[in-house]
Structure 1
Amino acid sequence: MNNVNKDAIASTPPSVFASSYHNNFKIKKLQCIVNEENKEESRDISQLNKILKSATLVSGDGGEIINMISKKKTKLVEKVYRTAHPRAKEELFYKGSDGRWKSKNPTFSAKSREELVEKLYNFFFSHTFEEVYLEWVDMRIRHGVKSNKTIQEDLTLLKNVFKNEPIAQMQITDIKKRDIKYMFERWTGPGLITRKAFVNRKSALNGVFIYAAENEYIPLNFIPSIGTTELKFKEPRHINKAFHLEDRNALLKYLKSLKQDGYTLAIQLALYSTFRVGELRAIRYEDIRGNILTLKHQLVEESVYSIDTKIMKITKAPRHINEKLPKGNSHFSVREIYLVPEALAIIEKAHELNPDGEYLFMCHGRTINNDTFNERLRKYCAGAGVPYLSSHKLRFTVASTLRAAGVDIAYLQKTLGHSNRAMTEHYIYETVAEPEGIENQLMNALSIN
C-alpha cells in the first residue's frame, strides 16, 4: 500500500475499486471518481453547448465558445482521470508505438490527444438517458439497420414520451429499476394506453439499455427483468378495417363517374387487388404480362435523419422519393398478382392517359403520393356517401372480401406478400358482409326440438 495514495483510498467508497491479483496478493486498483463538483462543471459545459446550438450567436462567437468548451473539457477530464492515477506524471496519457494516444483505467485509444479527451469526457459525463438514446438512434442510422420511417418513430418517441420523464436528464448509470417501474405505472395508470403502445415504448427503452450495456456505460440491461403483469392497459377500440361490400361497390361506381386521372384510377385498382400504396406507385406498364402483374418495387417518401451526438442536434433532410424492394421479406413480397378483367381495364386506361410516364400512375407529370392519395380517397368517400377508411384499409377490404368468397388462405398469403400465415390472418377476417340466414342458423343450433 506504500505506493498508493492512502488518503485517496481512505476517502474512496468500495464501489469505486476494481480488484486484481498479483503474486498471490490482492491489490486494489483505483477507479476514476466523478464527484458533485465535477458534475456541476460538466453541466456548465452543457450550457455552453446549448449556447453553441443557438441561432442567436453573433458571427465569430462560435469559434470562441468551441475553444472554451475544449479547454474546460480537457481540464475536467484530467482532474477526474488523476483520481485513479495520483502518481501520474504531468502527461497523464501516452502515445503508443502505433502513433495512437492511449489511456489506462479506463482504457481508450484515439488518433489524437484531443479525440482521446473527448472519448474520456463522454465516458465520464455524457451518459444521460437522452444522450444515450440519441447515440442509439445514431448507431441505427449509421449501420442502416432500420428504415427511415422507424428512425422517425424512434425520434418521435423521444420527443413526445421520454423527454417528459424524469429519467431523460438522469445519468443512465443512476437509473434504477424502480425509476422504470414507476414510469411504466404512470404510463398505464388505470388503463391510459393500449398494450401495443406500451410495447412500442418498452421496445425502444430496451434497445437503449442494450446499447448502453454493450458500450459498458452500465453493467447490464435490466429492462426485461421488470415485471409488467400487474399493469392495466386500455382496451383497443375495434374499428372495422374494411369497406362493406355495398360501400366498396358504391365507391367504385362513384369513381367511375369522375373524370379519370392517376389518382382515381389508382384507387380503383386498389379495390381490385391486395396492393400497398407504395407498390401501386411503383407499377410500370412493362411489369404486366397478360393478366399477371409482377410486383417488384415500392416507392416510399422518406426524410433522412442525421444526429450530431456531441451537441445533441438532430438534422432532418427534406423528404425524397426512393424506389425499393416491396416491404417485408423480398422472397415473399416480390410476387405475382392475378388481375381480373376490371383491373386490366383500369391499367389500360392509365396507360392511355400516361403512355410515356416512368410509372403507370402519374398526375401532372409527377408520381402519385401517399398524402394526396388519402386526401382524394377521403373526398371520394364523402362523394359516394360511404365512411372513410384510409388507403391501407383497401388492402384489408380486398383480402377479407376474397376470404369471405372462399379463396384459400395459402393463396391470400401469397398475394398479400406475407412471410407467415399469422400476419395474413390479421387481414382476412374483417366483416365485409352480414352473414345470410343468421336467424335460421341460430334457431337450428340453439332451439330444443
Structure 2
Amino acid sequence: MLTKERTLQYFHEYFSEWIEIYKRGAVRPVTYQKYLMTLQRLTELSPNLKICELDKRKYQTLLNDYAKTHERQTTMDFHHHLKSAILDAMDEGLLTIDPTRKVIIKGKPVSDKKNKFLSQFELQSLLKSLNLTDKPNWDWFILLVAKTGLRFSEALALTPKDFDFECQKVKISKTWNYKNAEGGFGETKNLSSKRTIQIDIQLNTQIERLSKDLADDEPIFVQGRVFNSTVNNRLKVLCKKAGVPIISAHCLRHTHASLLIFAGVSIASIAKRLGHSSISTTQETYLHIIKELESQDNDKIMSHLSMITQ
C-alpha cells in the first residue's frame, strides 16, 4: 500500500533513488555518470515537482525548458532517462497515466558546423580517400564503423576471434574503456547491445587479411591509450580531402543507420543491428528521415491513385 510520503515525494528524489537501485553497478561507469548528469539537470529545472503532480503538461514543460539550452538529440537522451524511471513509477502505482506519451522533442538549432550524417555519395567519396595499409590503422577503423554502425567503444573492443569469417558475421559482446588511462574490456551499453551482425563480403575479406597475424583475443585497433579526438582529427583530414562535410566518428554510426533507412530496411532490423534497446529509440532518433520518406511515399500513393479512374 502506498504511503502519503511516497506519493508526495519530489520527482528528482524518486529519480535519484531509481538510479541507485537500478543503474549503479548495472551499467558502465560512463553511462552511470550520464544518469547523474540527468539527475542534476532535473533537480535544477524542477526542484519542487512532485511525483503525484507529474502530468503530460508538466513533463512537456520540463523537456521544453531543457531543450532551450540543448540540441534535439541531447534532449532525446534526457527524455529516455526520465521515461524509464517514470514507467517504473507507474508500475509502482505512483502515477495513473503515462505523462511521456506523445511527447514532443524539441531542441536548439544544430550548429552549422555539425553534421549528423553523410549522404551515400559523400560517404563513398570519404571511403575512397582512406589510406588502407597492410596493418591496422585509424582509416581501417573508420571503414569498419561506416559499414557496421558500431559504437566507438564497441569497435575498439573487437578482436580477431569476434569475427566469423566463414559466415561473414561479427559478434559484439564487449566495449573498450578508452576513457580510462588503463583501458581494458568493459560491458556493453545494455543487453540489446550484445548482438551478432552480418558484414559484406568485401569487408569480411579485408578484415580477415588484416588480422591474420594478430593475437586472437587482443583488440585489433588498440595500441596504447586511445582518444576519441585522435579518430575525429583523422576524420577531419579525410573529410576535407574528400570535399565532404566534416563529421565525427559517432556520426559514421548515424550515417550507417540513415543509409539503411533510405534503402528501405525495416526499423526493427536497424534497431537490432545498432543494438538499440527498443525500436522506439531508433524511430525517435531518425524521425526526421522517416518523415521525409513518408512524404515521398504519400506522393507515390497519390500518383498511383490518380491513375485509377472509373
Q: Does the TM-score normalized on the shorter chain lie above 0.5?
A: yes
Q: 1:63 maps to which residue?
A: none
- How far does residue 177 in structure 1 lie from its aligned partner after superposition? 2.5
Higher normalized contact order (CA 8 Å, seq sep 6+, divided by chain length): 2
**Pairwise mapping of residues 201-216 of structure 1 onto structure 2 (< 5 A)?**
202-203=82-83, 206=86, 210=89
Once residues 10 and 154 of structure 2 are traced to their aligned partners in structure 1, the CA distance between those partners, rounded to angstroms, is: 41
Q: Among residues 211, 218, 229, which one is paired with 1:358 in the alignment?
A: 218
Once residues 137 and 401 of structure 1 are traced to their aligned partners in structure 2, the CA distance between those partners, rounded to angstroms, is: 35
**Pairwise mapping of residues 313-324 of structure 1 onto structure 2 (< 5 A)?**
321-324=184-187
Q: Could you say if the C-alpha distance between residues 382 and 177 of structure 1 is closer, same or farther in structure 2, counting changes exceeding 3 Å?
A: same
Q: 2:154 maps to which residue?
A: 279
Once residues 269 and 45 of structure 2 are traced to their aligned partners in structure 1, the CA distance between those partners, rounded to angstroms, is: 47
Paired amino acid for 1:203: K
- How far does residue 129 in structure 1 lie from its aligned partner after superposition? 6.5
Question: Does the 8 A contact of 1:274 with 1:395 survive in 2?
Answer: yes
TM-score normalised per structure 1 = 0.46
Question: Does the 8 A contact of 1:130 with 1:163 survive in 2?
Answer: no
Q: Could you say if the C-alpha distance between residues 390 and 328 of structure 1 is closer, same or farther in structure 2, counting changes exceeding 3 Å?
A: farther
Q: Could you say if the C-alpha distance between residues 413 and 321 of structure 1 is closer, same or farther in structure 2, counting changes exceeding 3 Å?
A: same
The answer on 1:154 being equivalent to 2:35 is yes
Instruction: Give the CA RMSD over aligned residues.
Output: 5.3
How many percent identity over aligned positions? 22
**Pairwise mapping of residues 241-320 of structure 1 onto structure 2 (< 5 A)?**
241-256=116-131, 261-286=136-161, 287-290=163-166, 292-301=168-177
Once residues 263 and 187 of structure 1 are traced to their aligned partners in structure 2, the CA distance between those partners, rounded to angstroms, is: 38
Paired amino acid for 1:297: S
Structure 1: any 5+ residue segments left out of the alignment?
A: 1-122, 215-219, 304-316, 432-440
**Pairwise mapping of residues 300-449 of structure 1 onto structure 2 (< 5 A)?**
300-301=176-177, 321-324=184-187, 327-329=190-192, 333-349=194-210, 358-362=218-222, 365-366=223-224, 368=226, 370-401=228-259, 415-416=273-274
Q: 1:234 maps to which residue?
A: 106
Question: Does the 8 A contact of 1:335 with 1:414 survive in 2?
Answer: no
**Pairwise mapping of residues 36-55 of structure 1 onto structure 2 (< 5 A)?**
none
Once residues 349 and 225 of structure 1 are traced to their aligned partners in structure 2, the CA distance between those partners, rounded to angstroms, is: 51
Question: Does the 8 A contact of 1:298 with 1:327 survive in 2?
Answer: no
Q: Could you say if the C-alpha distance between residues 167 and 376 of structure 1 is closer, same or farther in structure 2, counting changes exceeding 3 Å?
A: farther
Paired amino acid for 1:234: K
- How far does residue 266 in structure 1 lie from its aligned partner after superposition? 0.8
Once residues 180 and 406 of structure 1 are traced to their aligned partners in structure 2, the CA distance between those partners, rounded to angstroms, is: 34
Q: Secondary structure at the match of 1:397?
A: helix
Query: What are the Cα deviations for residues 15-71 of structure 1, in whole angstroms up to 9, with x where unaligned?
Result: xxxxxxxxxxxxxxxxxxxxxxxxxxxxxxxxxxxxxxxxxxxxxxxxxxxxxxxxx
Q: Secondary structure at the match of 1:373?
A: helix
Query: What are the Cα deviations for residues 91-133 of structure 1, in whole angstroms up to 9, with x where unaligned?
Result: xxxxxxxxxxxxxxxxxxxxxxxxxxxxxxxx9xxx8776655
Query: What are the Cα deviations for residues 378-412 of structure 1, in whole angstroms up to 9, with x where unaligned?
Result: 34323322113333432343455456567788876
- How far does residue 178 in structure 1 lie from its aligned partner after superposition? 8.4
Question: Does the 8 A contact of 2:169 with 2:198 survive in 1?
Answer: yes
Once residues 243 and 346 of structure 1 are traced to their aligned partners in structure 2, the CA distance between those partners, rounded to angstroms, is: 24
Max Rg structure: 1
Question: Does the 8 A contact of 2:127 with 2:143 survive in 1?
Answer: yes
Paired amino acid for 1:289: F
Q: Could you say if the C-alpha distance between residues 225 and 256 of structure 1 is closer, same or farther in structure 2, counting changes exceeding 3 Å?
A: closer
- How far does residue 415 in structure 1 lie from its aligned partner after superposition? 4.8
Question: Does the 8 A contact of 2:177 with 2:184 survive in 1?
Answer: yes
Once residues 11 and 265 of structure 2 are traced to their aligned partners in structure 1, the CA distance between those partners, rounded to angstroms, is: 51
Q: Could you say if the C-alpha distance between residues 297 and 145 of structure 1 is closer, same or farther in structure 2, counting changes exceeding 3 Å?
A: closer
- How far does residue 300 in structure 1 lie from its aligned partner after superposition? 4.1
Structure 1 or 2: more helix by fraction: 2
Question: Does the 8 A contact of 1:296 with 1:326 survive in 2?
Answer: no
Aligned residues: 281
Q: Secondary structure at the match of 1:395?
A: helix
Question: Does the 8 A contact of 2:146 with 2:252 survive in 1?
Answer: yes
Q: Secondary structure at the match of 2:148?
A: coil
**Pairwise mapping of residues 106-125 of structure 1 onto structure 2 (< 5 A)?**
none
TM-score normalised per structure 2 = 0.61
- How far does residue 156 in structure 1 lie from its aligned partner after superposition? 0.6
Question: Does the 8 A contact of 1:273 with 1:339 survive in 2?
Answer: no
Q: 2:20 maps to which residue?
A: 138
Once residues 161 and 255 of structure 1 are traced to their aligned partners in structure 2, the CA distance between those partners, rounded to angstroms, is: 43
Once residues 241 and 375 of structure 1 are traced to their aligned partners in structure 2, the CA distance between those partners, rounded to angstroms, is: 16
- How far does residue 293 in structure 1 lie from its aligned partner after superposition? 3.3
